[in-house]
Amino acid sequence: MTNFATKPIPAEKPDVPWTHRPWGQQKQYAYNEECTVTYIVVEPDHRLSLQSHSGRAELWIALDDGALIQVGDTVTLAKAGEEFWIPPNTKHRLSSTGSRIRVLEVGFGNWKQEDIIRYEDDYARPAEGE
């Protein structure tokens, strides 16, 4: 297995406090640091592969209720706003539970599609890579 870790990866989920503003509040998940932000939409009754990555950690932020999120052996029915830290080499999966769901992914490290290891996949894609 190739190790794609060529950039720094935080050891744990970064502490991201709320900053209050006159109009409400905000969180900055990445502040002047290198990361990859991905907006993921999963259609009803579909799911991503059960996968891991050697070159990055991911922070998933549920944007909708009803996302089924697996990190390691823990499976959670997420509520909008919940955050999930996925360390490198940790199996994880995102699934829809019958409605369209959205997740914001902040990837730390070297985001390369080639670093995917698939353990299960509903779409017959290769076990490794894109």
User: What is this structure's pTM?
Assistant: 0.83
Higher pLDDT, 55 or 7: 55
Tell me the mean pLDDT in the region 41-47: 94
- What pLDDT does 70 receive? 98
Helices (runs of H) and strands (runs of E) counted in the chain? 0, 11
List C-alpha distances in Å: 93 to 49, 72, 86: 6, 9, 10
Domains of the chain with bracketed CATH: 35-120 (2.60.120.10)
- What pLDDT does 5 receive? 59
Residues 6+ apart with CB under 8 A from 81: 61, 62
